[in-house]
Amino acid sequence: MKKLKQEKEIKEISDYKYGFNEGELSTLKVERGLNEEIIRQISKIKEEPEWMLEYRLKSFKEFESKPQPNFGPDLNFLNFQDYYYYTRGTDGIVDSWDDLPDNIKKTYDRLGIPEAEKNFFAGINAQWDATPVYENMKTSISEQGVIFTNCDTALKEYPELFKKYFGKLVPPGDNKYAALNSAVWSGGTFIYVPKGVKVEMPLQAYFRINYQESGQFERTLIIVEDDAELHYVEGCTAPVYSKHNLHAAIVEIFVGKRSHVRYTTVQNWSDNVLNLVTKRSIVEEDGRMEWIDGNIGSKINMKYPSCILKGDRAQGDTISIAVAKKGVYQDAGSKMIHLGKETKSKIISKSITFQGGTANYRGLAYIGPDAKYSKARVECDTLILDNQSHSDTIPQNKVHNNESQIEHEATVSKVSEEQLFYLMSRGIDEQQALELIVMGFLEPFTKELPLEYAVELNQLIKMDMEGSVG
C-alpha cells in the first residue's frame, strides 16, 4: 500500500509541467496530409509571392527524393500523411495580450509569458501552432533600426532583405527535414540588427504546439550586421498527447564582423514531440556566435547547432545539456567548421540519463586546410543515474593543416555511493543529495542562462528526477 502511494506521488510530481491543454482553437486548418496541393493551398492562404511558391514546390520534390537520416534514432516509423501542416489560431497578429482569444491568453498566462516580457525582455514573439499570434517590441529598440517580427511579415514588408538571406545557410537540399520545412514553413522569427547597434536586453520567441498530430515548421532568420550585439532567447512547450507531434524547424544566423550573437534555447517539449531541427550560423572575421542549448523533453530529439567560422579570428561556442528519462531519445551535439585563420571553437556537452533514457553526443570539429593556427576543444560529459540508461559519444574530429589543434575529452560516470554517503552524512536526504550532484554537474550550462531561466530549468530537472533514486 505504501509503495503504491509513493509511486502515485512520484508520478504526480514527475508529470510534465506544461502538458495542460485549454482546448483546440483554430480559425483555419488545412486537410491532413502532405502533397503538392496542400503546399499550394498554404502559399495561397498566406498570399505569398510567386517565387516563394516555386521555392516550396522545389523543396517538396527534394523532400520526396531524400531518404531518412542514416544515423541516430530510426525514423522510418514516421508517416508524413498523418500530420496537419497548417493551422491558424487567430485571424491576425495582435500587440496586446488582452486582444488574444481567451484559450490562447490563458495558456500563455500559465506559461508566465506576460510577466517575463514585462521584466526581462526587450521584445517578444509568440507562435501558436503554425502561425504567429502576438508581437511586441520596446520603442527604444525599434528606434535603433532593429527589426523584430515573424518571417511571414518579413517576406511581405522587407522582401529584398528577406530574399537575400532566406535559405542561404540551410538550403532545401541539406537534409530531408530541411526540405520538409522549406516546403511547408510558417511563422517563426525574423531579426535584423543594423551595424553598430547593441541590443541591451534579450529578444524572446515562444513556440507552442497545441494540436494533436500537428506539425510546427517555423523559420528563424537572424541578421546581425558588423559591430553589433544580440541575445535571443527561445522557449518551447506542448500539451501531452498519445500521438506524436512533429517539429522540424530551421534556424539561420548571420554574424557580422566583430559582432556577438548569443542564441539561448530551453527546449521543453512534451514527450510525444519529435524534434528534428537544423540550426546553422556563419561568422565573419572577429565575430562570435554562442549557442546555449538546453534539451529536456521530446520523444526523439535530433539537433546539432553549427558554426561556420568563415572569417579570420571568428569564434564559436556551444554549451548544451541533454536530459533523457524513460521514453526519451536525445541525439544532440554541435558542429564547428573552421575556414578562417586563427579561429577558435569550444563545445561543452553535458548529458544526464535515468529511468532507461538514451542521450548521445554527436558532433563535428572540422579545421580546413586554410584555417591555420586554429583551435577547437570538445568536452563531452555524461552522468548515468541507473543501470537501465544509455549514452554514447560519437565525435568526428578532423584537422587538415599542421598548424592547428583539436582537443577532445569525454567522460561517462555514475553517481557514486561515496558521493551520496558523504552528502547524506551531512544531514541531506538521498534525493536531495542526488539533485545537488546533478545540479553541480550541469553548472557550466546553467550559469550561462538568464536567472529566471536557470531557476526554471533547475525545477524542471528536479521534477523529472523524482523517483530516480534506487
* Residue 456, number of CB atoms within 10 A of its CB: 18
Asked if residue 469 has pLDDT above 80, the reply is no
What's the pLDDT band for 20 if we cut at 50, 70, 90?
A: very low
State the pLDDT at residue 60.
97
Confidence of residue 9 (pLDDT cuts 50, 70, 90): very low
> Confidence band (pLDDT; 50, 70, 90) for 272?
confident
Residue 249 has pLDDT above 70, yes or no: yes
Query: Predicted confidence band at 297 (pLDDT cuts at 50, 70, 90)?
Result: confident
Strand runs (DSSP E) across 112-166, as ranges?
Answer: 123-128, 131-137, 147-149
Q: How far apart are alpha carbons 368 and 375 in whole angstroms?
A: 11
pLDDT at 224 over 80: yes
| Domain edges within the chain | 25-422
Give buried/exposed letters for 195-230 (b at 16+ CB in 10 A, else e).
eebebeebbbbbbbbbbbebbbbbbbbbbbbbbbbb
Q: Burial, 466: exposed, middle or buried (Cβ in 10 Å; 0-12, 13-18, 19+)?
A: middle
- Is the pTM for the entire model greater than 0.85? no
Q: Identify the pLDDT of residue 387.
A: 84
Q: What is the pLDDT of residue 422?
A: 66
Mean pLDDT of the chain, nearest integer: 79
Please write the tens of the pLDDT for every residue from 233-246.
Answer: 876 554 443 456 88
- Residue 171: pLDDT over 60: yes
Model confidence at 12: pLDDT above 50: no
pLDDT range class, residue 411, cuts 50, 70, 90: confident
- Rounded to an integer, the average pLDDT of 249-265 is 95
- The whole-number pLDDT of residue 207 equals 60
286 sits in the region (left: phi over 0; alpha: psi -120 to 50; else beta) called left
Of 421 and 225, which is predicted with more confidence?
225
Query: Which of 96-105, 187-196, 414-423 shows the lowest per-residue confidence on average (mean pLDDT)?
Result: 96-105
Q: How confident is the model at residue 29 (pLDDT cuts 50, 70, 90)?
A: low
User: Quick one: pLDDT at residue 15?
Assistant: 46
Q: Which pLDDT score is estimated for 213?
A: 59
Predicted pLDDT at 143: 83
pLDDT tens digits for range 119-152: 444 444 554 444 444 444 556 677 889 998 889 9
* 311: three-class secondary structure by DSSP: coil
- Cell of residue 195, nine digits: 551595424
The answer to whether 241 touches 210, Cβ cutoff 8 Å, is no
Of residues 236 and 448, more confidently modeled: 448
Average pLDDT on 36-50 reads: 94
